[in-house]
Amino acid sequence: MIQRGHRGARAVVADPGQVELVDGAVGPELRVRGDWTLTHYRALLQQVRAAEPAERPDGVDLSRLAALDTAGAALLARLIGPERVEALAATAPELTAERRHLLQAVAAARGRAAPAPPPRRRWRPGRAVAALGARIGHGAAQLRLAIGFTGLVLATFAGRLTQPRRWRLGAVSSQLQRTALEAVPIVALLTFAVGAVVALLGMTVLGRFGAELFTVDLVAYAFLREFGVVLTAVLLAGRSASAFTAQIGSMKANEELDAMRAEGLSPIEMLVVPRVAALLLAVPLLTVLAVACGLAGGGLVILLSVEADPGRLLGLYGEVGVRHYLAGLAKAPVFAFVIAIIGCLEGLKAGASAQSVGAHTTSAVVQSIFWVIVLDAAAGLFFVEVGW
Amino acid sequence: MVSADEPGHGEPAMRVRDLVTRIGGTVIHDGLDLDVHRGEILGLVGGSGSGKSVLLRTLIGLRRPDAGQIDIHGQAAESLRRQPDGLAHRIGVLFQHGALYSSLTATENVALPLIEHAGLTRPEAEELARVYLALTGLDPTAGPRYPAELSGGMVKRAALARALALCPQILFLDEPTAGLDPVGAADFDRLLVTLRDALGLTVFLVTHDLDTLYTACDRVAVLAQRRVLAVGSLEEVAAINEDWVQAYFNGPRGRAARTARGRP
């Protein structure tokens, strides 16, 4: 351990600090000895606590004190008390000036230190209800904010539609590359695999009724109406909503959004509208790809096990009405809009810290997947009722 | 304060010999020598891109030197780094932007090394942490707040408290007054001197702030031409005939800072 004030020395032998009450020359005194350092902090703390309730004797003998560091000084200052630390120059002349300064500085700091915060209050049912109410109120405010933001984006969007000069095609195409082109491999691979799994499941279940060939219909209906668009939307919710939140959130943390506003530029127009526009194009395009890959994956399984003629398989796929494809594709722009809006809004809501950006990114992904599935369920019900 | 040149004071707090660092193919330091005496505040200055930050990162063990020797209180930094409680207990670092952990409050930031390295329980560590925070002059109300809720000066003070938590012998500071207003910067300079005197620290700081050099530093080292070009008192260093040194110390800002300190 370090020995402050002891020239060029490092105590080789550990000498744990101690304090004891002894009878000195003029009455009882506290005798302090050994190393008062961070290493022995816990043991020293217990001794100091044990010594505290007793009436403090006037005398303090520091002549046997070995090493002393800031943590040890904090304990020693607590043991001796601020008044006696001030008087140390007279009462303990053996103490070096350095150590006296250290003790005085720490004693003064102890006086200024914040009191321990009150322990957390116990749980009570009333508070839980209040917390629930606060959460609901917060949720309602967030929903109102989201609706207001949607309106703002739509208004900005519509306002720029008539001004081709302000379409920001550069920003849109760069976003399109990141959200659509770079997502092609993962979307293709995933939907191909899911198509194959659906076909396998279909053959297992339908095979019991001798209706293996209807697996073709199962795969086609599932992908045209639901899986193609939902898988794409969920993937983009994970990929792009999170990216939007992180990009805009870190720009906000870097005061870039404030800089834009100060320059008279609208962050909605510069950042949000290109992302919304890019996703509005990306999700339908990727849905077409997802449907094709899903049908290919399912088709491969069917070809390998039930129907060996590719021409006949394509014919069977062709018998499924195009309206099912349209029913699926119609949902794509809605999902795209929801994902983009949630991703951008969470980015704008993020605070200045890394933790806040992270929390809002998580929230953006969870919310956008949640809304994609809720909207898909609602659309499913609606289409069934309407008979599309 | 003990005079650093006192005979029999043992080896310097830090001795650097023949340090070579390369990044990619570029040689950043070539045969750099530097001694930091015990108990002094040494300021390192140098132009942009002269490798000040790289030197600091090498000295605190975040980068391995490509060649050369770094001794801390007579022990090789390389061997200290391999000991579990070696380097971290001997040096404290204040990063330029504080680098407080954003998910912890100011008090928790200081308490963390005490819990992890010194084996204190959380209440014990937080009690000691509050003393450290008061020692660096942080307002008591700032302790339970998160770094994002603190001003730049408060973050620096809390980060300084964290750097002091394990009672290091040497304190490394990267641009301690950058981003502070002049009043806050002057306060911080005074705090450094006070803490050095009270805690017996050795302080190595990288700075651009001429006022810090004039008020806080005992000696100044100039980093130029891939080595420490000169070390000495401010007057000695300012007299060196090198373009950057002349532009730095005898430019308008250098003159203003000198006049303000009453050193013609």
* Angle at B207 (CA atoms; ends B225, B138), nearest 5 degrees: 160
- By C-alpha distance, the chain A residue nearest B202 is A4
Per-residue tokens: B79: 């061997």
Q: Check if A230 contacts B (Cβ < 8 Å).
A: no
**pLDDT score, position B10:** 63
Tell me the residue type at A85.
V
- B166, B172, B160, B189: which is closest to B56 by C-alpha? B172
- Write the pLDDT tens digit of every residue in B220-264: 999 888 888 889 888 888 888 888 888 888 887 777 777 776 654
Q: Check if A95 contacts B (Cβ < 8 Å).
A: no
Q: Give the residue from B11, B133, B135 with the most A CB atoms within 10 Å of its CB, the best one to mutate.
A: B135
Contact at CB, A353 and B147, closer than 8 angstroms: yes
Contact at CB, A70 and B134, closer than 8 angstroms: no
Chain B: give the shortest CA distance to residue A107, in Å. Answer: 9
Distances (CA, A) of B56 to A128, A267, B26, B51, B83: 51, 39, 18, 9, 21
Better-scored residue on pLDDT, B60 or A362: A362
Q: How far is CA B99 from the centre of its chain?
A: 14
pLDDT, average across residues A256-277:
89
pLDDT, average across residues B104-133:
89
pLDDT, average across residues A70-86:
84
Contact at CB, A356 and B164, closer than 8 angstroms: no
| Sheet arrangement for strand B67-72 | B26-36, B14-23, B67-72, B75-76
Q: Are strands A59-68 and B91-94 parallel, antiparallel or unpaired?
A: unpaired
- Looking at every residue in chain B, the average pLDDT score rounds to 85
Q: With beta carbons under 8 A apart, name residues in chain B contacting A39.
A: 118
Q: How many CB pairs under 8 A join A and B?
A: 95
The structure's pTM equals: 0.70
Q: Check if A380 contacts B (Cβ < 8 Å).
A: no
Contact at CB, B10 and A105, closer than 8 angstroms: no
Per-residue tokens: A327: 């029913």
Contact at CB, B114 and A38, closer than 8 angstroms: yes
Q: For residue A155, count other CB atoms closer than 10 A to its CB.
A: 11
Q: Check if A353 contacts B (Cβ < 8 Å).
A: yes
Element (H, E) at A263: none
Q: Check if A5 contacts B (Cβ < 8 Å).
A: yes
Chain A: give the shortest CA distance to residue B135, in Å. Answer: 5
pLDDT, average across residues A64-68:
84
Among A59-73, A87-101, B212-226, where is mean pLDDT lowest? A87-101
Chain A: give the shortest CA distance to residue B114, in Å. Answer: 9
Q: For chain B, what is the HEC assignment?
A: CCCCCCCCCCCCCEEEEEEEEEECCEEEEEEEEEEECCCCEEEEEECCCCCHHHHHHHHCCCCCCCEEEEEECCEEHHHHHHCCCCHHHHEEEECCCCCCCCCCCHHHHHHHHHHHHHCCCHHHHHHHHHHHHHHCCCCHHHCCCCHHHCCHHHHHHHHHHHHHCCCCCEEEEECCCCCCCHHHHHHHHHHHHHHHHHHCCEEEEECCCHHHHHHCCCEEEEEECCEEEEEECHHHHHCCCCHHHHHHHCCHHHHHHHHHCCCC
- Looking at every residue in chain A, the average pLDDT score rounds to 87
**pLDDT score, position A381:** 93
Q: With beta carbons under 8 A apart, name residues in chain A contacting B121.
A: 42
Residue B139, C-beta contacts closer than 8 angstroms, at least 6 positions apart: B154
Distances (CA, A) of B88 to A351, B76, B85: 32, 14, 6
- Write the pLDDT tens digit of every residue in B36-58: 999 899 999 988 888 888 899 88
- Write the pLDDT tens digit of every residue in B61-111: 888 888 888 888 888 888 887 777 777 788 889 988 888 888 889 999 999
**pLDDT score, position B261:** 67
Q: Check if A69 contacts B (Cβ < 8 Å).
A: yes
Residue A194 pLDDT greater than 90, yes or no: yes
Contact at CB, A105 and B167, closer than 8 angstroms: no
Place B4 in a pLDDT band, splitting at 50, 70 and 90. very low
Chain A: give the shortest CA distance to residue B20, in Å. Answer: 29
Which residue among A38, A354, A356 places its CB closest to the CB of B167?
Answer: A38
Contact at CB, B194 and A105, closer than 8 angstroms: yes
Q: For residue A266, count other CB atoms closer than 10 A to its CB.
A: 13
Residue A209 pLDDT greater than 50, yes or no: yes
Better-scored residue on pLDDT, A124 or B122: B122
Q: Give the residue from B130, B160, B195 with the most A CB atoms within 10 Å of its CB, the best one to mutate.
A: B130
User: Three-class SS of residue A288?
Assistant: helix
Q: Check if A20 contacts B (Cβ < 8 Å).
A: no
Residue A281 pLDDT greater than 50, yes or no: yes
Better-scored residue on pLDDT, A183 or B178: A183
- By C-alpha distance, the chain B residue nearest A49 is B124
Contact at CB, B167 and A45, closer than 8 angstroms: no
Q: Left (φ > 0), alpha (ψ -120 to 50) or beta: where does A177 sit?
A: alpha
Which residue among B123, B131, B164 places its CB closest to the CB of A110?
Answer: B131
Contact at CB, A114 and B200, closer than 8 angstroms: no
Q: Check if A7 contacts B (Cβ < 8 Å).
A: yes
Q: With beta carbons under 8 A apart, name residues in chain A contacting B134.
A: 109-114
Q: How far is CA B104 from the centre of its chain?
A: 23
**pLDDT score, position A22:** 76
Question: How many CA atoms are closer than 13 Å to the CA of A292, on its beta-carbon side?
Answer: 9
Residue A112 pLDDT greater than 90, yes or no: no
Distances (CA, A) of A31 to A34, A90, A207, B193, B264: 10, 17, 91, 32, 53
Contact predicate A267/A165, CB 8 Å: no
Element (H, E) at A237: none
**pLDDT score, position B263:** 53
Chain A: give the shortest CA distance to residue B255, in Å. Answer: 34
* % of chain A beyond a pLDDT of 70: 94
Q: With beta carbons under 8 A apart, name residues in chain A contacting B128.
A: 41, 71, 74
Chain B: give the shortest CA distance to residue A41, in Å. Answer: 8
Contact at CB, A4 and B200, closer than 8 angstroms: yes
Q: For B198-239, what is the HEC assignment?
A: HHCCEEEEECCCHHHHHHCCCEEEEEECCEEEEEECHHHHHC
Chain A: give the shortest CA distance to residue B196, in Å. Answer: 10
User: Three-class SS of residue A309?
Assistant: coil
The values of phi and psi at residue B125, to 5°, are -65, -40
Out of A167-181, A287-301, B173-187, give the one with best mean pLDDT: A287-301
Which residue among A38, A115, A354 places its CB closest to the CB of B102?
Answer: A354
* % of chain B beyond a pLDDT of 70: 94
Q: With beta carbons under 8 A apart, name residues in chain B contacting A115.
A: 140
